[in-house]
Chains A and B, each alone.
Chain A
Amino acid sequence: MKKFVWTRKKKSSVGDKVFTIVNTVILTIFVIITLYPILNTLAISFNDGTDALRGGIYLWPRLFTWKNYQTIIHKQNLLTATEISILRTVIATVVQLFVTALLSYVLSRKNFIFRKQISLLYVLTMYVNGGLIPTFMLYKSLGLTNSFWVYIIPGMVSAFNMLVIRTYMVGLPDSLQESAEIDGAGHFTIFLRIIVPLCKPVFATIALFIAVYQWNSWFDTMLYNRMRGEFTTLQYELMKLLSSVTNNSSNAETMKQASNQVTPASIRAAATIITSLPIVCLYPFLQRYFVTGLTIGGVKE
């Protein structure tokens, strides 16, 4: 670990002090700009909906209520959507991580004769793809539309994740694998027994990437599972709430709900908080892996 320790001089210069102050001010503003909108949404989610329309709610609810959250819990489609979101996130993360790691292992073997060709086959997918419509038709012909599996099977192997994992694997000492090979271990054994335990940091990072991506997806729901209510995801339902807020802020439904002390806007605030909660809780724990796990400096073949 090389680390630079600032050598503190006995008297720091004026320029130095000015720099520190300016830096602190800029970063404080940055933190406020990042946090305020989220805290504001939190406050609105706990505020009476009709009251919130008057504005002036900043960091604290003015008329505290659980009503917004209660309304969401009583909406049946939001509950099933939550189940689907959790299910897709868990299954996709496990499957994608395992499959991508296996490919990364194969492509991290320096003497593998088709290493270059298969790497290129996948790296090209980051830049070339059939596009929305041919992909849509492929999924349709494979029977993936109107099914849960459209969330899992496409994108099972991602070139970018493969590159990150492979870079990490290439960095592991060769001698470990060589000695296992001499002991007669097959590739599956080497992969499971030696590589996987050593790759925990990078796996944690990639698992987080996949999980967040899956949890946040809505476009695939809109495209492939719009017709089937039972497979819609939480984000998609949130999207529908969002568009109902932007498009008809003064229509009859809003008025009806307004008499109920909840408004589409206050429900959306509550749904936003619920949707982002798992991520906000999870990511600080995985944070320590980010920097060590994510070194794409070795993207170059």
Chain B
Amino acid sequence: MEVTKKRKQNVINDKGPKISWREIRKQKELILLSIPFVIYALVFYYAPLGGWIMAFQNYKPKGGLLHSQFVGLAKFKTLFSNDVFIRVIRNTLCMGVINLVLSFVFSIGLAILLNEVRNKRGKKFVQTVSYLPHFLSWIIVTGIVLDVLSLETGIINQALVALHILNKPINWLAYPKFFWLIVGFANVWKETGWGSIIYLASITSINPDLYEAASIDGAGRLQKIFHITLPGIKPTIFILLLINVGNVLNAGFEVQYLLGNGLVQSVSQTIDIYVLKYGISMGDYSIGTAAGIFKSLVSIVIIFLANKAAKMAGEERLF
């Protein structure tokens, strides 16, 4: 018994054999299989990184990467002395954080509420309905958002006027102060059900004895949620938080692009839209690339810091 236990542990801790010619010869089939994948990654994911040179050049399509004038950090200086870009960073960060917070709160909340439903068919029905919006495209979802918020026929305006909360309908998408929240709740509408799947799965793996014991101690359902369910899914929450924190700057291109309009431009433009506008539509490849680099670097820094923090706190981590 002791021996098998030890062996099993060895297998788990084993990092695999060391790289040596003998191993390479032994594993040539796997190596051959993986070569196309390495090439693919290098071409499609890493070759574009070479294009980053553009950000340090006064790139002219005629000269190409090799014959364009090298200008050092001048493009970055232009970028950061530009009020528009500073505002764009703020917009991206704020919407990213709003989306992150709202989606966590709503997904975890839905998972917990669903877990408390005793009627199996009811639970299944709510779940099926809740996944649906995730599968619809942003084009469809933003179309729906526009309908719901529409001045004349939108249900929100009609309801608020009928309840005498508003005197007359509001054109919601014309006010910068509402835009971030509209984007946030569009996200919530689309992704809450989907986001809750992973938490539900993790709730089912909590040891039922804990709930039994709590019942015997006289805990109510709310107490069980706060003292058993939530701590039970803490590792899942942490790992998802880690994954998503790195994506804060990626949070949003489509919604903002589709819902944005001239009136709310000051709050709707994100880094990605900026890159699209200045980079591709206006042909300033250098500035667009510089903005893209800034976004990537910040994302990397965030993910490493978050991972480090998780390590220090002794929580789950990514790598």
A interface, CB within 8 angstroms of B: 2-7, 13, 15-16, 19-20, 23-24, 26-27, 30-31, 33-38, 40-41, 44, 52-58, 102-103, 106, 109-116, 118, 121-123, 125, 127-138, 153-157, 186-187, 212, 215-219, 223, 235, 238-239, 242, 245-246, 268, 272, 275-276, 279-280, 283-284, 287, 290-291, 294-297, 299-301
Question: Smallest CB-CB separation from A298: which chain B residue?
Answer: B239
Write the nearest CB–CB distance from B131 to chain A, whole angstroms.
Answer: 7
Q: What would 21 A/B residue contacts be, using CB atoms closer than 8 Å?
A: A2-B207, A4-B211, A19-B220, A23-B116, A31-B126, A34-B189, A106-B30, A112-B34, A113-B17, A118-B34, A118-B37, A123-B319, A127-B299, A129-B49, A131-B52, A137-B48, A154-B44, A157-B40, A242-B258, A297-B202, A301-B319
- B128: chain A residues within 8 A (beta carbon): 284, 287
Question: A165 to B230, alpha carbons, bound, how many Å?
Answer: 28
A102 to B: closest C-beta gap in Å: 7
B318 within 8 A of A: yes
Q: Which of B125-149 contact A (CB under 8 A)?
A: 125-133, 135-140, 142-144, 146-148
Contact present for B275 and A129 (CB under 8 Å): no
Point out the residues of chain A lying under 8 angstroms from B125, CB to CB: 31
B183 CB to nearest chain A CB (Å): 16
Bound-state Cα–Cα, A120 to B235, Å: 23
Please provide the 9 A-B residue pairs with the shortest distance between their CB atoms, ordered closest to farther: A130-B48, A134-B51, A131-B292, A216-B137, A55-B153, A134-B48, A4-B208, A125-B45, A279-B135
Q: Please, which residues of chain A bring their CB within 8 A of the CB of B138?
A: 216
B132 near A38: Cβ-Cβ < 8 Å:
yes
Given contacts A112-B16, A121-B41, A242-B258, contact A272 B292 (CB under 8 A): no
Q: A157-B41, A268-B143 are in contact. Are A128 and B239 (CB under 8 A)?
A: no
**What sequence of 0s and 1s flags, for each residue 17-60 of chain B, a beta carbon within 8 Å of any chain A beta carbon?**
11100011001011101100110110111011111101000000
B33 to A37, Cβ gap below 8 A? Answer: no
Which of the 9-residue segments B71-79, B90-98, B192-200 touches chain A?
Answer: B192-200
With CB as the reference atom, state the residue of chain B lying closest to A55.
B153
Given contacts A19-B222, A31-B125, A300-B317, list 13 more A-B pairs with CB under 8 A: A5-B208, A7-B212, A34-B133, A35-B132, A37-B147, A55-B153, A55-B158, A112-B30, A131-B51, A132-B272, A134-B292, A272-B140, A291-B201
Q: How far is the CB of B22 from chain A (nearest CB, A)?
A: 10
CA distance A76 to B117 in the complex (A): 49
B110 beta carbon closer than 8 Å to chain A? yes
Cα of A54 to Cα of B150 in the assembled complex, Å: 12
Bound together, the chains give a CA A179 to CA B27 distance in angstroms of 17
User: At the interface, yes or no: B215 with Cβ under 8 Å from chain A?
Assistant: yes
Selected from A15, A36, A123, A246, the residue in CB contact (under 8 A) with B155 is A36
B-side interface size class? 35 or more
B114 at the interface (CB under 8 A from A): yes
B48–A300 touching, CB < 8 Å: no
Cβ-defined contact, A30 with B143, below 8 A: no
Q: With an 8 A cutoff between CB atoms, is B87 at the interface?
A: no
Distance in angstroms between the alpha carbons of A294 and B146 in the assembled complex:
33
A131 and B289 form a contact (CB under 8 A): yes
B30 touches A187 (CB 8 A): yes
Q: Smallest distance from the beta carbon of B272 to chain A beta carbons, Å?
A: 7
Whether the pair A27, B17 counts as a contact (CB closer than 8 A) is no
Interface residues of B (CB under 8 A from A): 14-19, 23-24, 27, 29-31, 33-34, 37-38, 40-41, 43-45, 47-52, 54, 110, 113-114, 116-118, 122, 125-133, 135-140, 142-144, 146-148, 152-153, 155, 158, 189, 192-193, 197-198, 200-202, 204-208, 211-212, 215, 220-222, 235-236, 239, 243, 246, 253-254, 258, 261, 272, 275-276, 279-280, 285, 288-289, 292-293, 295-296, 299-300, 303, 316-319
Known contacts A15-B221, A130-B51, A132-B275; A283 and B280 CB within 8 A of each other: no
**B139 near A33 (CB under 8 angstroms)?**
no
Bound: A299/B198 CA distance, A: 13
The answer to whether B29 touches A15, judged by C-beta atoms less than 8 angstroms apart, is: no
CB of B246 within 8 A of CB of A127, answer yes
Given the interface contacts A41-B144, A129-B296, does A279 sit within 8 Å of B136 by beta carbon? yes
Pairwise interchain contact A53-B153, C-beta atoms closer than 8 A: yes
Residue contact B135 to A130, C-beta cutoff 8 Å:
no
- CA of A58 to CA of B314, assembled, Å: 52
Chain B residues with CB below 8 A from A116, complex form: 15-16
- Complex CA–CA separation, A38 to B239 (angstroms): 33
CA distance A153 to B36 in the complex (A): 13
Q: Given contacts A37-B144, A157-B40, are A134 and B49 in contact (CB under 8 A)?
A: yes
Contacts of A110 in B (CB 8 A): 14, 16
Contact B113–A132 (Cβ < 8 Å): no
Closest residue to A280 on the B side, CB-wise? B132
